[in-house]
């Protein structure tokens, strides 16, 4: 039974790449004002990386990063300003792309991160605020990701920060049309690693459901590791070929 549950979780998160992705899956619920109040929550939980994971991150060599690396753990996290803390499955995934940050950020604009995920089927992006340069700084995104038993369907409030040599998108899922996501908040960061390469980091926390039932974190953790490392390797493939 435990093995069968594990396989179900594997199917839920998906391990295949979809073809013929479409953007004709509209946003069905707009965020409320409080749905934008999450960046401090993300930054707060991400400051509490377990020491053993921090040690592993610091030991990564450029050759390790070129292949990609990922870890998972469980952490108590407050999913929104109106909800109490709960145990989440958390992933940290990194990959190094041998392209200068300035070049990479043009070919891979950070506000397109969701549409370029490996299992993306479709969705909709609605930009609600831009900065003085015309770059999106707040947007709402519905994304549906392919999975054989039940597709992941998430609508996210996203806030984007830009700096010299760095772009970061923070997100929080505030609605899931098919109920597969109970909570999901995190970030994707792109930074200039050196003059010739860009480091991408996913750091996100998840509570997932299948058919209305919460999936245990021991099932979610290995699936997150495979899924997000797969996303990063797919990103790398998109810009290198």
pLDDT of residue 24: 81
**Residue-level pLDDT at 20:** 41
Tell me how far apart the alpha carbons of residues 11 and 204 are, in angstroms, rounded to a whole number. 20
User: pTM here?
Assistant: 0.91
**Phi, psi at 83, each rounded to 5°:** -120, 150
CB 111 within 8 A of CB 130: no
What is the reported pLDDT for 9? 45
Q: Please classify residue 121 by burial: count the beta carbons closer than 10 Å to its beta carbon, then call 0-12 exposed, 13-18 middle and 19+ buried.
A: buried
Q: Which fold has domain 2-240?
A: Alpha-D-Glucose-1,6-Bisphosphate; Chain A, domain 4 (3.30.530)
Length of the chain counted residue by residue: 241
Q: What letter does residue 31 receive in the DSSP assignment? A: P
Q: Residue 23's pLDDT is what?
A: 59
Angle at the Cα of 208 from the Cα atoms of 166 and 205, rounded to 5 degrees: 30
Show pLDDT as tens, one digit a residue, over the chain (241 residues).
Answer: 443 444 444 444 444 333 344 558 999 999 999 999 999 999 999 999 999 999 999 999 999 999 999 999 999 999 999 999 999 999 999 999 999 999 999 999 999 999 999 999 999 999 999 999 999 999 999 999 997 678 999 999 999 999 999 999 999 999 999 999 999 999 999 999 999 999 999 999 999 999 889 999 999 999 999 999 999 999 999 998 7
């Amino acid at each position: 039974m435990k093995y069968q549950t594990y396989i179900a979780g594997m199917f839920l998160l998906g391990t295949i790449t979809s073809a013929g992705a479409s953007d004709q899956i509209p946003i069905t619920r707009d965020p409320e004002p409080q749905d934008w109040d999450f960046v401090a929550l993300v930054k707060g939980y991400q400051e509490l990386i377990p020491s053993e994971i921090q040690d592993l991150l610091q030991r990564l060599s450029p050759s390790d990063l070129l292949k990609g690396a990922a870890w998972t753990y469980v952490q108590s996290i407050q999913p929104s300003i109106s909800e109490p803390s709960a145990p989440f499955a958390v992933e940290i995934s990194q990959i190094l792309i041998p392209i200068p940050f300035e070049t990479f950020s043009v070919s891979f604009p950070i506000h397109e991160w969701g549409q370029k995920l490996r299992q993306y089927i479709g969705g909709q992006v609605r930009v609600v605020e831009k900065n003085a340069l015309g770059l999106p700084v707040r947007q709402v995104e519905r994304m549906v990701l392919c999975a054989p038993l039940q597709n992941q369907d998430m609508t996210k409030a996203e806030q984007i920060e830009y700096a010299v040599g760095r772009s970061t998108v923070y997100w929080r899922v505030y609605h899931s049309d098919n109920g597969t996501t109970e909570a999901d908040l995190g970030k994707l960061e792109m930074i200039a690693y050196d003059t010739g390469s860009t480091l991408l980091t996913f750091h996100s926390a998840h509570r997932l459901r299948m058919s209305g039932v919460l999936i245990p974190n021991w099932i979610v953790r290995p699936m997150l590791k495979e899924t997000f490392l797969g996303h990063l390797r797919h990103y790398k493939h998109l810009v290198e070929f």
